[in-house]
Amino acid sequence: MDTSPRGLFIGFLFIALIITIFWTWLHGRKIIATEKSDAVFGNPERALGGYHWVIAGVSSVLLMWIFFSWDAARSFFPKAANELCQVAKVTSALNPVRSVFPIESRLLKGTELLARDSRQLNELEAQLSNLPVSDADRAELGKSVDLLRNMMVSMANSDNLDAATETAIADIAQRFDEVTANLASPDYPGEPDAAALEKGLAQPEWGRGTTEVPTLPTTPLGFKFDAAAKDLSVITKDFSAIKNTSANFQSNLDAVNAQLALVKTSPDSLEPADATVRDRFVKNLGKMAKRIDDGKLFPAAALDPVEQSLVQLENVSRDQQGSLLWVDRIAMPSGTIVAGNTSCSEQGSGRWLPKPSDTIGTLVRLADPNIGYKNIPLFWYEMRPVGELVAFFIPDFIADLVPGKYPRHGEDGTITENLKTKVLNVATGNYSSPEVPVPSGHIWDSIVRVLVGLFLGIILGVPLGLFMGLSRFAKGFFDPLIELYRPVPPLAWAPLILTIFGIGDDGKIFLLFMVAFAIMVISARTGASGTQLSKIHAAHSLGATNRQILRKVILPNSLPEILTGIRISIGVCWGTLVAAEMLAGTTGIGFVENVARKQSDYETIWMTIILLGLLGLLFDLIMRWVIRRTIPWRGKG
């Protein structure tokens, strides 16, 4: 059990979730049992309520997350990854030998090679009759093919196996058996070296440091497998070096080489086009020769001792892993720990599904304003002069409207300020003023962009929409303009708009404005044109002017549609913004996610996904609340 706060928390949560699911399940069953007498299939009432199923659902999702991200495994078996890393080293060292035998593949490697090579030799032989060469030449080329086949077949014959090769194979098998005996022995490899143990224990634990899984062994089992892996990597190297090179093989090879040298050059009498065809055939003969002369083809039974030893080694290895094997199979679903050249890592769902504890850790780490992401905090505040904020609302050009001219520098190199300069200073915030805290950071930037784009969309879209709902001219005139750009997915506009406006806020805000504007126009138009005529008649009879009818009757009557439009706009803007931030920009949640993607930083990616989801949900909840408060009459009029 991992006794750090992180490990204890996840362990406790894991057990609590299992109990919760179990309890809610029983509770739900009990309720269903009491309802059974009057249950009607399809009765919508039966889908109401049932908070316990909500708890069961949420708990199941959390439980699956903790389980499939291997957070539970890390919490309950914190040493397992380190030990599995040593096991993975053995597996990795054995891989070159395993691949020779039909353990993971269907066929013995040698059988596979022989089948492929004889198929290709047959193809070459079939081509022979169509070659545009003289009959004498054809006979020589045919002889080459025969010699190649002869060499190949002789290698598969156990009579031609060299005694030295046989000894080398037996030696490998015996060395494997030694490793097997070592693995089975309780006190192999003896007391671990104190320095090595200290070094191992000094490593960051699983999931704590920059390398995912501590690589050096720390437990007796770990040291055993680590030592075995070192031995095995030497043995497999020696195994790979063994070749089926007997005297018979050598004489066959000499004959093949002599024959290939003989047919190498085309006769001068051949047409250039025909010579090209012949050259290609000869080249293929050469390729076949190179493939066969590497000596990796053995008689089928020759390698049996190694295979038997290997199988036994793997059986003993599994026995030795004991409970660790079950941790690997059950607590680390859909994947395992694999060893690379220098490090071990998680492979499977544990890799791409971040552990909840790590995700929260990443969020806590990035939420620290001194760290943030790319030196920008996620959500914090900064001190800005009041003047700068005021200047944001004052257009700079009002300084240009002040009569007079801007001052020029004098003879003595000084510049005298005049009224125009002073107005400009105010308009640009270029004066000292007290500082006030202003929100800042990636999250804030994203929110501001959405809200500004949305605000502009509402301010301009609602009046135009109402106008279009009331005027035949406006409807006809503006409808095509909006329907021309609205059906284009906002993201299709993004590259164009971001190129025109640059990577700053302007382009993103304009893009969001476009999105919100179309939605607001359509919803306001629907609202306005849906006003009941009798209400307008009533207002007329009560003495209201056209203007009053617009403000006091048509606008409030359109509010349900307008607010629904805003609710939809926020959602669509939020989605568009993230994509726009991914395309270009230096701040924002989408930017964070995009950078994290380039670094394969799964924890940060998931953190941004969760943040985006929660903020989107928050926006929607706010809009639902607003709708409930402002238009309680909706659907009841």
Q: Please name the residue that has the structure tokens 């030295």.
A: 164
Q: Does 627 bind other proteins (CB under 8 A)?
A: no
Among 398, 496, 538, 614, the residue binding other proteins under the rule CB under 8 A is 538
Compute the least distance from the CB of residue 547 to other proteins, in Å.
Answer: 10
What's the closest the beta carbon of residue 55 comes to other proteins, in angstroms?
35
- In the region spanning residues 548 to 587, those forming contacts with other proteins, defined by CB under 8 A, are 548, 552-553, 556-557, 559
Using CA atoms, how far residue 324 sits from 77, 205, 317, 327, 330, in Å, is 9, 17, 11, 5, 10
| Residue 315 touching other proteins (CB under 8 A) | no
The nearer residue to other proteins, 408 or 547, going by C-beta atoms, is: 547
Q: Does 537 contact other proteins by CB under 8 A?
A: yes
Closest to other proteins by CB, 127 vs 630, is: 630
**Closest approach of other proteins to the CB of residue 208, in Å:** 59
238 vs 556: CA distance, rounded Å: 87
Q: Rounded distance, CA 374 to CA 382, Å? A: 16
Closest approach, Cβ 545 to other proteins, in A, equals 7
Q: Which stretch binds other proteins (CB under 8 A): 44-52, 212-220, 509-517, 536-544?
A: 536-544
With the C-alpha atoms ordered 195, 197, 202, 203, is the resulting torsion angle positive or negative? positive
Residue 477 is a binding residue for other proteins (CB under 8 A): no
Give the 3-state secondary structure of residue 205: coil
> How far apart (Å, rounded) are the C-alpha atoms in residues 126 and 432?
92
Please report how close the Cβ of residue 569 comes to other proteins at its closest, in angstroms: 22
Which residue in 27, 540, 579, 609 binds other proteins (CB under 8 A)? 540
Secondary structure E strands in 304-459:
335-339, 344-348, 380-385, 435-440
Residue 350 CA to its chain's centroid (Å): 12
Binding status of residue 541 toward other proteins by CB under 8 A:
yes
Q: What share of the chain is helix, strand, coil (3-state, %, to 5)?
A: 70, 5, 25
**Torsion over CA of 515, 521, 526 and 527, rounded to 10 degrees?**
110
Beta-ladder partners of 380: 440
User: Which residue lies nearer to other proteins by CB, 558 or 604?
Assistant: 558
Q: Which of 190, 272, 434, 543 binds other proteins (CB under 8 A)?
A: 543
Site for other proteins contains 546 (CB under 8 A):
no
CB nearer other proteins, residue 127 or residue 557: 557
By CB under 8 A, tell whether 336 contacts other proteins.
no
CB of 637 to other proteins, least distance (A): 4
Which residues, 504 to 533, sit near other proteins by CB under 8 A? 532
224 CB-near residues (< 8 Å, 6+ apart): 86, 182, 183, 188, 189, 320
Nearer to other proteins, 190 or 637 (CB): 637
Q: What is the distance between the alpha carbons of residues 626 and 632, in angstroms, rounded to a whole number? A: 10
Which segment (8-16, 300-308, 370-378, 545-553) binds other proteins by CB under 8 A? 545-553
For residues 526 and 462, what is the distance between their CA atoms, to the nearest angstrom? 11
Give the torsion sign (CA, 161, 165, 171, 173). negative
Minimum distance, C-beta of residue 557 to other proteins, in the bound complex (Å): 7
Residue from 139, 542, 621, 626 binding other proteins (CB under 8 A) = 542
List 344's β-bridge partners, or say none.
Answer: 213, 339
Least distance in angstroms from the C-beta of 471 to other proteins: 19
Provide the binding-site residues for other proteins, judged by CB under 8 A: 532, 534-535, 537-545, 548, 552-553, 556-557, 559, 631-633, 636-637
